[in-house]
Structure 1
């Protein structure tokens, strides 16, 4: 575990790791030497040989000074590594998450990821700064005392060398139960964190259906499981500590018995016996401390496992050879893809989108329409076939090169808890104020900020909670307009908007797509009818393709879809006959 822990140290601080270990070992051996030097010092005092006593006392003082110096070195080095490790590890986790396929996040809760990136990293930091030195000391000091005791009395040394592994074995057995309880506590805490975040974000839904307070069974159940898991963790650790403490005291009694027996036999002096009993207690103390810190180290070990497992999650391979994008075209060539093995979502998809044209993708829910857009942006890698953007396979382009060619507007708009201006600038962080306002005006965001208390500087809340669905869509369109990429991937989301918001968003979309290469998952009839090419997708395959007129003349699936949507557009509620 220690090796894995130190393996997480950032490369910049890695050269400090051998120095930390050397300082810990030197400090521990200095401490062991100070304990052992008590024996000849007391013998000289009891023999009334003050000159010899002073010599041994000065040696003991030198060992104590060395202990203090090496202790300062290990503390300062450990703190430097721990501070650097927190920042470096969290940055590494962030970069790794940024390189994971989007599908990976769909089965992981934000609560669990937050706990790994914050709580587990903090536990690892504490282990490096404090626990590693204490636990190493708890091993090296008794070992040093036992080996040094060979020069004084081999029988006592043998008892020490035999008892130490037994104590650590007992501690290890108790520790495995604690680790299992700690794993349950982590899962319960992560679930509770996720439910608390959900509770805060979904207040409108919860209140509408009376699921607040005692009515929110999911949150109440998660908190109850967390309390039970923490209680189990505590009750699991206490018996192990009690049993270990009993064995520690038994070992001390055995050592004391051996010392007394040696005095009775006349093999050692009374002065030596007094010193040896004191040294025996010093031999026991680090073992006891190491056991008490063992649960903390096990928790850190579990944290290391979780962080390492997260960092071991496979990422999308990143191209390293620069490419120069060609014409803004998109090509799907024999593409098959599934989010899980053996469960295909798309099968043998082939089509091309010439530069400056619009391709509309229509079909029933779950047909794989949005997945096509995600593959074009390389949120995932295809299982077979190829996707080309700008005349290059997306897998052969550095991510920055690929995404520079694309503006993405999806159904689920996420806004950060920052100002309106900052959310728009994500599309182009170095944009001027004039460019910002031009994009905002084209998307009709200027109408929104006129009503906000701080205008463009108004914070929109977590996820954009302070804005309506249509307003969030306007901000997302302004973001895409500001980026001004040659290819637009658009998942229209106007069906749930009121007529005014829909009209405003549609005008923004027209501004965004003017003169661009567009792939749009279309919901509006007007968008579908004016597309240069229409793909009707069902069951993960393209079942029909052509222009609006060609597909209507075909009188197939698209024609049925069009007629159904046309009838639905004219639906209205009529008063019931009395």
Structure 2
């Protein structure tokens, strides 16, 4: 557990964690040793001179005070280290996520990372602050007490020690048994959360169909699976809890019976028997808490494992000797890209001279959007080379590459802030006049004028307070402000109404002027102005040429054009 924690955190946190573990271990030993002073206290009280117990009582009080100070320091160290680790973990996770390829962030992974970034990190880092001290105490204090028992009477010490392997075996078996059930429970919880979101998103459809009072079958099924998984997790924990209780109670009973037998035989005195029983009781209490602590540690360990999996994901390789692109031309040289077992692009070769526009068309799943993502290095190719300005994108520094590229996607994400703040993401240091000019070029100024608050109007999380066309205008204004020499467009008008489409097209023409452009579109009317058109199908280039030339050929593009322009 500690090894995994240090692996997740990194070597710089090893010293404070080990220091805290050492302090907590010393505290647990001090607690066990303080109970040893009960033996001379009880001997004096049951002997002929009870007043002689006062020095021993003072010693016992001093030992308890030392233990209390150590416990305070240990807990304080745990909280301080835990807080430091929490901050460090957020920094490390954030830095690592920023270096991962953007293509890694699928919808499922974004949801998983959002949970890890909140509940996961808090649970994992809470180990040092909240769980480590009671766990060490539950393990080390009983062993210290057993060592004290061995010094008092070897028979009673061995009787108590015999419970140790039984307790360890029960804990190990319970941990292994529950690991699979914990993983299943996590999976079912994740699935149920997705179904809840799906149910909420399906409300317009359900209400339009007059089915608002019907139950959502898939959600009900997933909730039943959560219930079953929870029941299996609970049942798998019961044998361990019961077994641990039985082992500890059996140890206490054996020590009690053996102590009584030895006292009756005159081997040990009454004071020793009472002291041993007190020690055995103090040994039993922390052992019984192991079941609850173990469950919490397993939960924290599973979160640590998920954090470890994310942090072990290989980031994009950064070149040690970055190359500076010579110009803004684009080239795909025998590029092959696979997603899992599927080949998305298969030896694709094409080029876009500087300042020209390339339009990419084809059926869904042909690999059109993948071309754009490879240009922006959201992924690395499996074979071949993607070049910008004659340089392999893998040999260009990531920041230098992204500074040359402006991307406008169909699905625009806006941050929860003002319109001006979202536009400024294109170039934060831009002047007010430059921001206003970019907004005017994108047709955003008329949107600003009719919004309450104007430029200070809040767009909501994800841009929820704006329409799709308005969000798209913000995105184009952002790209205009960035003023990058290369522009990548992906289906930017396919979901817009005619008014917004016209405004967005006007903004796009200003954005594309004089730049190297790769445009992906389903609405073929938007590609007529391209210098060259590529028809992609099955991950291969099947046709290439100008608009009129491809229509004269009567091939795949001409068939697509006929369908797109067919009267409704």
TM-score (norm 2): 0.93
Structure 2 distance, partners of 1:454, 1:222, is 44
How many Å apart are 1:238 and its aligned residue? 4.2
How many Å apart are 1:557 and its aligned residue? 2.8
How many Å apart are 1:160 and its aligned residue? 1.8
Greater mean alpha carbon deviation, residues 306-315 or residues 175-184: 175-184
Find the counterpart in structure 2 of residue 443 from structure 1: 442
How many Å apart are 1:403 and its aligned residue? 0.8
SS at match of 1:73: helix
How many Å apart are 1:177 and its aligned residue? 3.4
Structure 1 distance, partners of 2:27, 2:33, is 10
Q: Is the 8 A contact 1:493 1:523 kept in 2?
A: no
Find the counterpart in structure 2 of residue 139 from structure 1: 139
Find the counterpart in structure 1 of residue 354 from structure 2: 355
Greater mean alpha carbon deviation, residues 17-26 or residues 529-538: 529-538
- Count residues in correspondence: 568
Find the counterpart in structure 1 of residue 255 from structure 2: 255
Find the counterpart in structure 2 of residue 264 from structure 1: 264
Find the counterpart in structure 1 of residue 398 from structure 2: 399
SS at match of 1:344: strand
TM-score (norm 1): 0.92
Structure 1 distance, partners of 2:537, 2:180, is 47
Q: Where in structure 2 are the equivalents of 1:409-558 lying within 5 Å? A: 409-558=408-557
How many Å apart are 1:52 and its aligned residue? 5.8
Check 1:213–1:70 CA distance in 2 against 1; reply closer, same or farther (3 A cut): farther
Q: Is the 8 A contact 1:111 1:194 kept in 2?
A: no
1:307 aligns with 2:315: no
Structure 2 distance, partners of 1:218, 1:319, is 48
Q: Is the 8 A contact 1:345 1:539 kept in 2?
A: yes
How many Å apart are 1:404 and its aligned residue? 0.9
Structure 2 distance, partners of 1:114, 1:386, is 34
Q: Is the 8 A contact 2:163 2:247 kept in 1?
A: no
1:317 aligns with 2:312: no
1:375 aligns with 2:347: no
Structure 1 distance, partners of 2:90, 2:205, is 34
How many Å apart are 1:19 and its aligned residue? 1.2
Greater mean alpha carbon deviation, residues 52-61 or residues 460-469: 52-61
Find the counterpart in structure 2 of residue 241 from structure 1: 241
Q: Is the 8 A contact 1:115 1:190 kept in 2?
A: no
How many Å apart are 1:545 and its aligned residue? 1.8
Q: Is the 8 A contact 1:103 1:339 kept in 2?
A: no
Find the counterpart in structure 2 of residue 108 from structure 1: 108
Deviations 1:63-122 (A, max 9, x none): 212211221121111111222222322333333333333443336254433322222222
Q: Which runs of 5+ in 1 are unaligned?
A: 573-578
Structure 2 distance, partners of 1:500, 1:129, is 58
Greater mean alpha carbon deviation, residues 272-281 or residues 164-173: 164-173
Q: Is the 8 A contact 2:410 2:494 kept in 1?
A: no
Q: Where in structure 2 are the equivalents of 1:141-180 lying within 5 Å? A: 141-180=141-180
Q: Is the 8 A contact 1:10 1:85 kept in 2?
A: no
Q: Is the 8 A contact 2:318 2:398 kept in 1?
A: yes
Structure 1 distance, partners of 2:468, 2:69, is 63
Q: Which runs of 5+ in 2 are unaligned?
A: none
Q: Is the 8 A contact 2:6 2:13 kept in 1?
A: no
Greater mean alpha carbon deviation, residues 275-284 or residues 66-75: 66-75
Find the counterpart in structure 2 of residue 62 from structure 1: 62
Q: Is the 8 A contact 2:438 2:480 kept in 1?
A: yes
How many Å apart are 1:395 and its aligned residue? 1.2
How many Å apart are 1:233 and its aligned residue? 3.3
Find the counterpart in structure 1 of residue 93 from structure 2: 93
How many Å apart are 1:401 and its aligned residue? 1.5
Greater mean alpha carbon deviation, residues 310-319 or residues 293-302: 310-319
Q: Where in structure 2 are the equivalents of 1:560-571 lying within 5 Å? A: 560-565=559-564, 567-568=565-566, 571=567
Q: Is the 8 A contact 1:111 1:190 kept in 2?
A: no
SS at match of 1:485: coil
SS at match of 1:334: strand
Deviations 1:525-573 (A, max 9, x none): 45423222221212211122222343334343333333443x32xx13x
Greater mean alpha carbon deviation, residues 439-448 or residues 185-194: 185-194
Structure 2 distance, partners of 1:433, 1:559, is 46
Greater mean alpha carbon deviation, residues 138-147 or residues 108-117: 108-117
Structure 2 distance, partners of 1:9, 1:73, is 23
How many Å apart are 1:384 and its aligned residue? 0.2
Check 1:203–1:435 CA distance in 2 against 1; reply closer, same or farther (3 A cut): farther
Q: Is the 8 A contact 1:110 1:194 kept in 2?
A: no
How many Å apart are 1:430 and its aligned residue? 2.9
Check 1:55–1:473 CA distance in 2 against 1; reply closer, same or farther (3 A cut): same
1:16 aligns with 2:16: yes
Structure 1 distance, partners of 2:201, 2:422, is 19
Deviations 1:269-307 (A, max 9, x none): 111111111111111111112223111111112222222
Q: Where in structure 2 are the equivalents of 1:179-194 lying within 5 Å? A: 179-194=179-194
Find the counterpart in structure 1 of residue 385 from structure 2: 386
Greater mean alpha carbon deviation, residues 479-488 or residues 448-457: 448-457
SS at match of 2:14: coil
Q: Is the 8 A contact 2:240 2:291 kept in 1?
A: no
Point out 4+ residue stretches in structure 1 off by more than 6 angstroms.
none
Q: Is the 8 A contact 2:408 2:492 kept in 1?
A: no
SS at match of 1:453: coil
Find the counterpart in structure 2 of residue 77 from structure 1: 77
1:281 aligns with 2:281: yes
Structure 1 distance, partners of 2:332, 2:368, is 13
Structure 1 distance, partners of 2:210, 2:15, is 58
Structure 1 distance, partners of 2:210, 2:337, is 41
How many Å apart are 1:376 and its aligned residue? 0.4
How many Å apart are 1:456 and its aligned residue? 2.5
How many Å apart are 1:247 and its aligned residue? 2.5
How many Å apart are 1:502 and its aligned residue? 1.1
